[in-house]
Structure 1
Amino acid sequence: MDLLFLTFGPNIKNHYQANFCILSFLKQRTAVNSINVYTDHPEFYTRLGDLVNVVQVTKAQLQEWEGEHNFFWRVKIKAIEDFMLKGGQHPVVYLDSDTFLHQDASSFTQQLSQGVAFMHEHEGKLSELKSKTDKIMWSQVKGKAFGGVTITDRSSMWNAGVVAIPAQKNLEAIRLALHICDDMCTAGVTRRLIEQFAIAVALDHTYGLHPASPWIGHYWSTKDDWNEVITAFFLESSLKTYTLEQDIERMRRFDFSQLPIRKKVKNTRIRLIKLVDKLFPVKAMAYVEKQ
């Protein structure tokens, strides 16, 4: 399989998350044909050397990928399409930076080679999801065709932290996702999860979908906890001057079960914290004087 990452912007957290994920796959190097990073900050990947193919993207290119409707997350679909146009011989596995491989990948890669597609997790049929945004989206798309595919009460939302596409019909599938995404933008569908739903509908229509979560963790809701652990991992590596191969060996011993990958925080708690910060702001801060 060919791994694909898309990281952009100066926030170092996104880049050390991607480095951490890459190391988790390098511990099973035989399962990976290539590792590819589309980024506007290639300097964050120099330590990985020739183990990673870095493709520098520009702000202008990202803007072009947003399309005529200026939908930012369309760039995820375009990056996958761009990579497929340059290769396409192996299954492509797109990964958000906040993911990692935590199990033996052999059965995952075997199923991919046999034409099974994956996204991270099944979040439910859109018609049955309970959030306000999901209900609005369902009311906008039910019974309508986008990209030639009619949305029914069985059409499902899948988490797009992992998008694993078999080599068979890969370009056909990702272009269908792009068509669905563009048609939804044209129709004025609420934009929050359009690209995710478009990819899910396209892959399910083309291949059928299965969850990648048995092999790949996605800590999107617990990033603060994981960022602290990942920072410590790379800080120790820097202070002790570990080699890349030593870090890969450390990754083989890493306990991925030490932290949760999902947690639900009540909105009331968030509102109360913001209220306390507003009522009792931090004061009397002191700084050293500039010379």
Structure 2
Amino acid sequence: MMQLVYLVFGPNAANHTQAYFSILTFLRQSAALSGITVVTDRPDFYARLAGQVRLLPVDAALLREWEGQHQFFWRVKIKALEAVAAACPGQALLYLDSDTFLGGRAELLTQALAANTALMHEPEGPLAALPSKTERLMWQQLQRQPWEGITLTGKHLMWNAGVVGVPAQRTAAAIGLALALCDAWCAAGVTRRLIEQLALSVALAETGPLAAAGASIGHYWSAKPEWNQPITAFLLDSFLHNRSVEAEVAALAGFNFGAQPVKQRVKNTRGRLESLAQKLFPNQQQVFWQ
């Protein structure tokens, strides 16, 4: 069994809606779960799930503290894992970004974690070979010197951190190493955007086996607008029918998970053209209620 972990904060209601929907998809296979913890500054958004989730409230002050002395924003993801590990000792943890869903068998995830195999969503490739400017710069900054006793080589992979599964036997070692790497790289001035992602990738790989969870979990990080629309429609239908949480879970049998992409590449040119079109051809003769 495993303890699900969600970290959802801020005023963007879409993030909370995605997390709510993700939780529903896992409740379809609740026998695989020891519990669900939502780390959030908006516990009121999850009142309907009071019987299904445990809330760990946070506020702006605690989130700033979790950013650490170098004030790195995404360090809070690792700290949230640490907080839930302390609250749920002896349990395997499965952290999930809000833009995820269970599309396969949860049993495969629990079996891997029980066998001391850590999980992340999918490998993106060796850091030394990744093409983006950020990743190339990180490799230049990190290679050829030890970090917490680890010298990065061409074999170290960057993994997508939308899913982070930590076996019960490795929570202290893996989370502690991820925090130490994150802090060391921040202190050294390493370019920051992907630091927590790489820290988790390295820490989980260095403390034991690491495998992909993509066969069971969908992560639509590059297609959020395409998913937000059907998710909102599903939850609006639930509201209008006054469904219980149990009825919402049952209604997922009619949700078409294959109707929208889980991965896509949107050309920057398209965004620039759409922005230009909005400026050149704005809506006209608008009338507002007074």
Q: TM-score, normalised by structure 1?
A: 0.97
Asked if 1:86 corresponds to 2:87, the answer is yes
Match of 1:205 in 2: 206
Aligned length: 289
Q: Residues 6 and 39 of structure 1 are in contact (CA less than 8 Å); yes or no, is this contact kept in structure 2?
A: yes
Report the CA distance between 1:279 and its aligned residue.
2.5
- Check conservation: 1:92, 1:164, Cα contact below 8 A: yes
2:228 is the alignment partner of 1:227:
yes
Contact preservation (8 Å) 2:108, 2:216: no
Query: In structure 1, the residue corresponding to 2:203 is in which secondary structure?
Result: helix
Superposed displacement of residue 203, structure 1: 0.2
Q: Secondary structure at the match of 2:168?
A: coil
Corresponding residue for residue 57 of structure 1: 58
Name the stretch that deviates more: 273-282 or 20-29: 273-282
Report the counterpart of residue 112 of structure 1 in structure 2.
113
Match of 1:100 in 2: 101
1:55 is displaced (CA, Å) by: 1.0
What SS does structure 2 have at the residue aligned with 1:189?
coil
Give the 3-state SS of the residue equivalent to 2:190 in structure 1: coil
- Alpha-carbon distance in structure 2 between the residues aligned to 1:191 and 1:58: 23
Whether 2:215 is the aligned partner of 1:214: answer yes
Indicate yes or no: 2:262 matched with 1:261: yes
Aligned 8 A contact 2:4 2:37 in 1: yes
| Pairing 1:137-148 to 2, within 5 Å after superposition | 137-148=138-149
Distance 2:159 2:285 in 1: 47
What amino acid is aligned across from residue 32 of structure 1 in structure 2? Answer: L
Partner of 2:8: 7
C-alpha separation in 1, matches of 2:285 and 2:158: 48
Equivalent position amino acid for 1:68 in 2 = Q
Higher mean alpha-carbon deviation, 90-99 vs 269-278, is at: 269-278
Q: Gaps spanning 5+ residues in structure 1: where? A: none
Displacement of 1:207 in angstroms is 1.4
Matched-pair contact (CA < 8 Å) for 2:85–2:91: no
1:222-273 deviation per Cα after TM superposition (whole angstroms, max 9, x unaligned): 0001000010011000001111111111124432112110110111222222
Does the CA contact (< 8 Å) of 2:78 and 2:196 recur in 1? yes
* 1:282 to partner: Cα distance: 2.9
**DSSP 3-state at the match of 1:51:** coil
Query: In the aligned structure 1, how far is the partner of 2:161 from the partner of 2:128?
Result: 18
* Shift of residue 135, structure 1, vs aligned partner: 0.9
Give distance in 2, aligned partners of 1:68 and 1:251. Answer: 43
| 1:92-117 Cα distance to aligned partner (Å, 9 max, x none) | 00000000001121122111101011
What is the root-mean-square deviation of aligned Cα atoms in Å? 1.1
| Whole-angstrom CA distance in 1 between matches of 2:243 and 2:99 | 23
Deviation at 1:47, TM superposition (A): 0.4
Paired with 1:279 and 1:142, the residues of 2 have a C-alpha distance of 47
In 2, are the aligned partners of 1:27 and 1:252 still within 8 Å (CA)? no
Instruction: Give the aligned residue type for 2:211.
Output: H
Q: 2:21 corresponds to which residue?
A: 20
Cα distance between partner residues in 1 of 2:202 and 2:163:
15
* 2:156 alignment counterpart: 155
Taking the aligned partners of 1:200 and 1:36, their CA distance within structure 2 comes to 22
Q: Does 1:48 align with 2:52?
A: no
Instruction: Pick which of 66-75 and 165-174 moved more.
Output: 165-174
What amino acid sits opposite 1:95 in the alignment? L
Q: Percent identity?
A: 49
Distance in 2 between residues matched to 1:196 and 1:284, nearest whole Å: 47
Question: So what's the TM-score if we normalise by structure 2?
Answer: 0.97
Partner of 1:182: 183
**Paired residue secondary structure (2:38):** strand
1:74 alignment partner in structure 2: 75
CA distance in 1, matches of 2:283, 2:210: 49
Partner AA of 2:283 in structure 1: V
Whether 1:287 aligns to 2:279 is no
Residue 146 of structure 1: CA displacement? 1.9
Moved over 6 A (4+): none
- Code of the residue aligned with 1:61 in structure 2: it is L
Gaps of 5+ in 2: none
1: CA distance between counterparts of 2:236 and 2:74?
A: 32
Single out whichever of 248-257 and 159-168 deviates more from structure 2.
Answer: 248-257
